[in-house]
Structure 1
């Protein structure tokens, strides 16, 4: 009989570290649910008359926020995960203030990047319906702010930072920052919004890494989206 000590391989299901981090099955479930919700949203969008750009814009905002938000919340329930696993946790108020300032910097970069890209390429502007909603009157403006500058940032940050970035950190912080930001940017398609979305993604991911919370990223995202809505209204009033 061997005198070597008997060892057993640890069961991942009993690994405390594994139980507190986002896993590939978590991502798979989230993406599957998100696809279903996006498809449902698209089917509903197709029912909106093409000439009704205001309703179309608000509906697009709603889908872009509700689909990822619903996917993450349903994953939390199905996978029996805690909110903190996905970075949905409190953060010190100072980080929200810092995020707001960073958001203003992103807005300045947004204006510069968009101006440069639109002047040097023929990249498409996919914000037309959103702008129509924001400039349609008080109700449209309020709807654009609530859906585009609050709901959408929450839903997208829960998905792209709370799930995707957190999962990728196991391969290194900078890989997670760049790759999650690139995935986020490309999810918007290749257009005028792509480079701006990448900057927002990098900023939000770095804040997520520092604070372990999605909320500073939500603030950066919200400031950028709100600025787009406000700028659209100002431009419409001056033109």
Structure 2
């Protein structure tokens, strides 16, 4: 029996369907829009940095979509990949996340020329990481932990598990592509695609979203700390 069949998302009624996907997508889009409008009106002298606000939106909006998908029918998180996994899988996720962080330089060197004018896309996040020790800690908490939890819950927990009905390759590739495009058509997109592919494979092989969450936490936290140190 395959890992996906053990996972319970390849067949049977206890898997995310069109209802869960539609509710999750609609809820997340609505929350992203509300958050985006709120962030637009944040004054420059607001005590919370714009990067922190964006991190908060990036975590809470997909978490809201995930919660709506869970509540609409199952009221159980296990069909969405929130299952226990081994310490080895979690450590594997950390190693892969740090490896992806190291690969971000060559990936950026190759693809950044294809996205001229997008150099400042990540600047609010960098500013939040560089605004002192407290700001850095908040940035790690929001961008390094909350955002990965939210994005993996939505893009792997709902979308990828839904797509497993058409096979693991379809699920891994298409969920990663949607995840990448959701980050915008800019220089971040190839990096998001790299993370999405790695996390889709981990979900497929482990049967749990937690290794993917660890990849995302390690990758985001490493980037925030790197910029927080002034690089």
TM-score w.r.t. the length of structure 2 is 0.89
CA separation in 1, counterparts of 2:134 and 2:49? 11
Write out aligned runs for 1:171-190 (5 A).
171-190=166-185
8 Å Cα contact 1:53/1:129 also seen in 2? no
Cα offset, 1:75, TM superposition:
2.2
Residue 27 of structure 2 corresponds to residue 33 of structure 1: yes
Offset from partner CA, 1:24-77 (integer Å, 9 cap, x none): 111001111112211221122122024769621100000000000111112212
Residue 71 of structure 2 corresponds to residue 77 of structure 1: yes
CA separation in 2, counterparts of 1:157 and 1:183? 12
Cα offset, 1:222, TM superposition:
1.0
CA separation in 2, counterparts of 1:199 and 1:120? 16
8 Å Cα contact 1:158/1:214 also seen in 2? yes
Structure 1 residue runs without a partner (length 5+): 1-16
**RMSD value over aligned CA atoms?**
1.7
Write out aligned runs for 1:25-104 (5 A).
25-50=19-44, 55-104=49-98
CA separation in 2, counterparts of 1:186 and 1:213? 24
Write out aligned runs for 1:103-122 (5 A).
103-118=97-112, 121-122=115-116
8 Å Cα contact 1:180/1:201 also seen in 2? yes
8 Å Cα contact 2:180/2:193 also seen in 1? yes
Name the structure 1 match of 2:161: 166
CA separation in 2, counterparts of 1:40 and 1:120? 31
| Larger CA deviation: 50-59 vs 60-69 | 50-59
CA gap 1:123/1:206 in 2 versus in 1, 3 angstroms: farther
8 Å Cα contact 1:64/1:155 also seen in 2? yes
TM-score w.r.t. the length of structure 1 is 0.87
CA separation in 2, counterparts of 1:52 and 1:129? 14
8 Å Cα contact 2:115/2:187 also seen in 1? no
8 Å Cα contact 2:63/2:154 also seen in 1? yes
Cα offset, 1:235, TM superposition:
3.3
8 Å Cα contact 1:53/1:133 also seen in 2? no
Cα offset, 1:121, TM superposition:
5.0
8 Å Cα contact 2:69/2:158 also seen in 1? no
Name the structure 1 match of 2:221: 226
